[in-house]
Amino acid sequence: MPLFYDARIRAYLYQVIAVGVVLLVAWVMFSTASANLAKQDIATGFGFLARQAGFVITESAITYEPTDTIGRAILVGIANTVKVSLLAALFGTVLGLLVGIGRLSHNPVLSRLMLAYVEALRNVPLLLYLLLWYSLIISVFPPVKQAIEMLPGVFLSNSGLVTPALHWQSGFAALAAALVVGVAAAFVTVRVLGRRRIVTGMERPIALFAATAFLLPLVATLLFANISVAWDVPELGRFRLSGGYHLRPEFVALLLGLTLSVSANVAEIVRAGIQAVSKGQWEAATALGLSRARTLKLVILPQALRIIIPPLTNTYLTVFKNSSLAIAIGYPDLVMVSNTIMNQTGQAIEAIAIFMGVYLGLSILISLVMNWYNARVALRER
């Protein structure tokens, strides 16, 4: 068989075999699945998305009623997943940065305390912590009937925190616009004055100017625009609280668990990144007379950031995927909503395909954004 010993022919042969096996398996699975579904009288396809959902979702980042479509319910799930993972990533990063720096402190008590914090979080499964926080919240706070009224209109009970809600009658758009304009103006001020300082060398209170630029549009809007809001104050009924904004224990437990787990990971990443910056940089900054805090802010962190970004991306991807543990404590994220739909309609393949597709798409989006940022801060070597 001289042909078989030709390296190129063999390469083609291997590839054809590999692709063929994959296609064959896929075809066998597809045909058995469609036969099974036909036998069970389940129609395939995504037509069920337009049907009425008919189930309640306890918490949603966008408006939703049980009379809305199943497609809308899935959107609610996506919004809830994105909301909780964004918040957890944000809080976790800030907390983790502090813990990571504390871990490198010269003070032995602080550094050991931070080490204990990180180890306690990293060596226990996240799911266990979620269940622990959830049952802690449920058991520590009193039932709704004896809800504690902390401030007038603010109730704390084991069904969560209920606060008065704001309903905008008018002027919301103007205020939002003022906020955007203020942020943009502050940003421009910082850039322009920063450049001026580099050129002229003159010290000016940049922070003060920026704060003014930020506040000016807001104050102007508050003074001149017609803003009216209505307060929706919760009332304590016999069995439940009605009205107001409801912060549920499921959401709080999930956010707490995810935030803490992110913070432990971020702390380790920050510590490794800071330690990777060469010691000479510290010594040079000390020789220039910079304090430890300023050295960290001006010299070490900008360099450490380059090392930190790629593992940080992984942490953000992980928290996004870990938010799916919400199903264990009953926060209506994408997986839980899909699971409900699966049980109600029997469209298992489609429901799972949708939520896997969404996770995959958003994962790719997160890594693209973080890679773009990484390319911006990466060291440019000639």
Partner 1 sequence: MTQVDTLVSNATLAPSREAPPASRSRWLSAYFGTPGNALITILCLGTVFALAKLAIGWLFVDATFVGTPAECKATSGACWPFLSAKMRYIFFGFYPFEEQWRPLTAMLLFLGACLVSMVPKVWGRGLLVAWVAVVLPVLYVLMAGGYFGLTVVPTTQWGGLPLSFMLSFIGLACALPLGIALALARASNLPAIRVLGVGFIEIVRGVPLISILFMATVMLPLFMPNGITIDKLVRAQVAIILFAAAYIAEIVRGGLQAVPKGQVEAGHSLGLHYWQIMRKIVLPQALKKVIPPLVSLFIGFFQDTTLVTIVGLLDFLDTVRTAMRDPQWQGIAVLEGYVFAAVVYFVFSALMGAYSRFLEQYFRTTHD
Site for partner 1 contains 208 (CB under 8 A): no
The three state secondary structure string of 118-160 is HHHHHCCCHHHHHHHHHHHHHHHCCCHHHCEEEECCEEEECCE
Select the residue interacting with partner 1 from 63, 139, 200, 226 (CB under 8 A): 139
Positions in 225-264 near partner 1 (CB under 8 A): none
Nearer to partner 1, 188 or 365 (CB): 365
**Main-chain phi, psi angles of 9, to 5 degrees:** -65, -40
Q: Which stretch binds partner 1 (CB under 8 A): 47-55, 65-73, 130-138, 304-312?
A: 130-138
Judged by CB under 8 A, which of 363, 370, 371, 374 binds partner 1? 363
Cα separation, 70 vs 258, whole angstroms:
28
Q: Output DSSP code: residue 69.
A: B
CA distance 377 to 145: 54
Interface with partner 1 (CB under 8 A), residue total 55
Residue 164 vs 346, nearer CB to partner 1: 346
Residue 272 interacts with partner 1 (CB under 8 A): yes or no: no
Considering the rule CB under 8 A, would residue 127 count as an interface residue with partner 1? yes
CA distance 312 to 86: 14
The DSSP output letter for 67 is T
Do the beta carbons of residue 175 and residue 219 sit within 8 Å?
no
Alpha helices, H only, 225-347: 249-276, 279-287, 292-295, 301-322, 326-329, 334-345
CB of 270 to partner 1, least distance (A): 18
Nearer to partner 1 (CB atom), residue 188 or residue 356: 356
Nearer to partner 1, 36 or 58 (CB): 36
Q: Which two tokens stand for residue 68?
A: 């809305």
Report the nearest approach of partner 1 to the CB of residue 86 (Å): 16
What track of x and - describes contact with partner 1 for positions 23 through 62 (by CB under 8 A)? ------x--xx-xxx-x-----------------------
Residue 199's alpha-carbon distances to 186, 192, 193, 195, 299, in angstroms, are 20, 11, 10, 6, 21
Sheet containing strand 160-163, edge to edge, reads 148-151, 154-157, 160-163, 245-247
As measured in angstroms, the least distance from the Cβ of 22 to partner 1 is: 6
- Contacts (Cβ under 8 Å, ≥6 apart) of 43: none
Tell me the closest approach of the beta carbon of residue 367 to partner 1, in angstroms.
Answer: 9
**Interface mask (CB under 8 A) for partner 1, residues 141-170, using x and -?**
------------------------------
Which is it for the CA torsion 129, 132, 137, 143, positive or negative?
positive
- From residue 94 to residue 123, what is the string marking binding to partner 1 with x (rule CB under 8 A)? -----------xxxxxx--x-----xx-xx
Sole binder of partner 1 in the list 6, 9, 22, 47 (CB under 8 A): 22
As a whole number of angstroms, the distance between CA 137 and CA 215 comes to 38
**What is the contact surface with partner 1 in residues (CB under 8 A)?**
11, 14-16, 18-19, 22, 29, 32-33, 35-37, 39, 105-110, 113, 119-120, 122-129, 131-132, 135-136, 138-139, 321-322, 324-325, 327-328, 335, 339, 342, 348-349, 352, 355-356, 359-360, 363-364
